[in-house]
Structure 1
């Protein structure tokens, strides 16, 4: 294998939701590049099995962590275990996510889509920032979706208590991913940690199969032949996590491995700041990460102003 193929040697990567679908393909891709990979999943036996399979295929070291990231206690437990077992952490890929057609409540009393898709990466990222910052040119990659373009942050009903729609909850959570990415980029000191969001495309996975909506049940079988493979879907995550030329690229949204203009709503800095504050309160963290300037702007802001 050439030097480029092992370009992640010596780098430790954590991929949430790494036991199947896009997450597993992301872990496999980075392990093949020489990274020390760690994956998370809900089922301890499955986590152990998949970690062993990826390690055997790639020859890389692969560790597994069992946690249900819809639970804040388990997110905190995962962070504690990662800090104990992984002395270095260069890349965090916030991949875990889900879709539920009907409203589900987590152990914390929160709507599950918002809790798993947004609050889990928000909390985990912040708990691991110090360790990431010690690695030099660390990266945070958060898997969003083009569905963010249909999203709206409903601060009056974030949990869907008054009116719930699976699609609306999902779109809101994916918009929250992009808003979080941009706000984190504004709040981090320059040059220490990059943070970017990615859209994997429409991929052949079992995503949403636990509680599908009527339209999903009808359309997915028809669309499946045209969907991308999990490897293709993971390509953007792998590239943004590893490409040397992206070492200083931050605050951007990627699709098919290239920066794209995200929806106008994702660039609303007032909404992003309020979402940060509300999310901090919901996970029990202070809402200030680092001092920021009112003039600070993400790379995405600057790029698309041109």
Structure 2
């Protein structure tokens, strides 16, 4: 016999059911609201890929490989790519090699991975571009005899010096500062500089490498028949947009600022953008363009290898972040920001090449503008809109900088490395 519920028990049951309905409705509602920006981005990406958002989509199709279209041809270019053994670095190096670059120099921390990357690129170029003409094939990919360990400035110097002495690289038209680490712990710090590791690897080591590569970049203008629009392309990140992560006064987390591995990563990528602006003001009078590019939300192993702050129980988040296809791009699509930065001769120095829909989409070019009153927190600086001009900058703020920001970071980096870029 079923016991009849008392009035109090009935009220409790009704309250529980009502609470469950409200909780479910709120959860579904919040999920839907949080999905709206992503739905908007995916719809926009689809329209962008169809060329329906104004600017024709800029990308390299498979039929355009092997340098058959003149406007998307890398002939005469000698390109150095750091972090070229995986992710967007590998895809950019491979694409430029397939587009008939004169030389593509792979900068890798692991010699074995660099050798493997060269073999893979050569095999694909042989298959796509020299089918039936294998006897005419000559590799245009250079796997240097030394590995490029950005964690060691002495190793960086030896690697740069070996390019001319051992690899026969007499000039460089394009330097791609692509390698990076993400979300590493604060300790131990870099043994050579004493800096937080992300700041050291992502910014300081690339600053030092650029100073060493300047003679090769500057020599282009004097060479007969060489490509004259030499460039330095600095790879940034969505994380650089955070307005609260950068602090020059406590850039190394030694004066009481609370450390977060993601905050430190964001700071290092903002440093990349400030460095790109310093190079613009310093090198553009010499005929060397400085561009920044961010690959959007791209599926790479950066998430798998570097989210050390997550406990083992949450390792699945790395899989979601690095493998989902709904809100992200492939490494190849992300590499298009780098490739356009190099091949598009009409991009002015100081520009920021970004996905059309901020996180995904084909490359578009953003130029610095004076910030407006609706840009939160950036009323006094110069702002770069990486997404549909004012729309996203109103929501997120864009990347803003002032001259003193660029100068302050440059002076700090010069002191650490002992070199100047001028």
TM-score by length of 1: 0.87
State how far apart, in whole Å, the 1-side matches of 2:116 and 2:398 are.
42
1:250 is the counterpart of 2:332: no
Matches within 5 A, 1:1-306: 1=66, 2-4=68-70, 7-35=73-101, 36-59=103-126, 60-65=139-144, 66-84=147-165, 85=167, 86-103=169-186, 104-108=188-192, 109-135=194-220, 136-151=228-243, 152-161=245-254, 162=256, 163-190=258-285, 192-212=287-307, 213-214=309-310, 217=315, 219-223=317-321, 224-226=324-326, 227-246=328-347, 249-256=348-355, 257-260=363-366, 261-262=384-385, 266-286=400-420, 289-290=421-422
SS of 2:296 mapped into structure 1: coil
Deviates more, 1:198-207 or 1:182-191: 182-191
SS of 1:14 mapped into structure 2: strand
State how far apart, in whole Å, the 2-side matches of 1:27 and 1:211 are.
23
State how far apart, in whole Å, the 1-side matches of 2:344 and 2:284 are.
21
Count matched residues: 286
SS of 1:98 mapped into structure 2: coil
State how far apart, in whole Å, the 2-side matches of 1:21 and 1:67 are.
17
Instruction: Please tell me whether the aligned partners of residues 6 and 34 of structure 1 are also in contact (alpha carbons under 8 angstroms).
Output: no
Per-residue deviation, 1:220: 4.0
| Structure 1: gaps of 5 or more residues | 291-306
Instruction: Please tell me whether the aligned partners of residues 304 and 318 of structure 2 are also in contact (alpha carbons under 8 angstroms).
Output: no
State how far apart, in whole Å, the 1-side matches of 2:161 and 2:88 are.
25
- Mark the CA change 1:189 to 1:255 in structure 2 (over 3 Å): closer, same or farther: closer
- Mark the CA change 1:176 to 1:31 in structure 2 (over 3 Å): closer, same or farther: same
| Structure 2: gaps of 5 or more residues | 1-65, 127-138, 221-227, 356-362, 367-383, 386-396
TM-score by length of 2: 0.64
Q: Which has the larger radius of gyration?
A: 2
